[in-house]
Chains A and B, each alone.
Chain A
């Protein structure tokens, strides 16, 4: 059972456009929602994260929007650049356990010039 559902599987965006990746969860105990960025041949790297006490977090061109009532969160990449082409994973965790971080299945983003 997938704890975190991510869509779309792949996304193609023109340079300068907005990339939007969506994730949904069911477990209301989740209280930490990170996004990871992975370039080909590399490991995932933490991009940005949010906790449910805020509805939005922005870091440069990357913004997480969080809707607690809908149990959804999304990543927005403004002014998308070819260098943003990568696979993006959302994730969610909650509680004090060491093994309760659950990843989405990933979105392969391609930004075309």
Chain B
């Protein structure tokens, strides 16, 4: 049982480059989330999805786009990377929303130079 799998685990981008982070879950969860984690700031919600084909903005959505074409996958895109997007990105899923435990992936460490 893999849970939540994130790829890649590490990536270095040059300013202005684009990339897509992939999140896959095998628990048939409806809700999926993308967070970024920065020192001293905890976890901040970027975008989320309440089901296949749906997406919504979180607390810090600027510079990111997402898609959920299949229930098990949630993609996070950076169209034009900036140094301020250097962070550790975590994907999470939940069966029914915020009042239930989240399952997190192991993260993607992204550095934008």
Contacts and interface: CB of A to CB of B under 8 A. Distances in A.
B112 interface: no
Interface stretch (A38-46, A57-65, A74-82): A38-46
Interface stretch (B13-21, B41-49, B71-79): B41-49
B86 to A, nearest CB: 17
B98 A100 contact: yes
Given A103-B42, A103-B43, A46 B101 contact: yes
Contacts of B90: 43-44
Contacts of A32: 98-99
Interface in A46-89: 46, 49, 89
Given A43-B90, A44-B90, A45-B104, 9 more contacts: A34-B101, A36-B104, A43-B104, A43-B105, A43-B107, A46-B102, A49-B101, A89-B43, A99-B58
Interface of B: 4, 31, 40-43, 45, 48, 50, 56, 58, 90, 92, 97-99, 101-107
Interface of A: 6, 9, 31-32, 34, 36, 41-46, 49, 89, 93-94, 96-101, 103-106
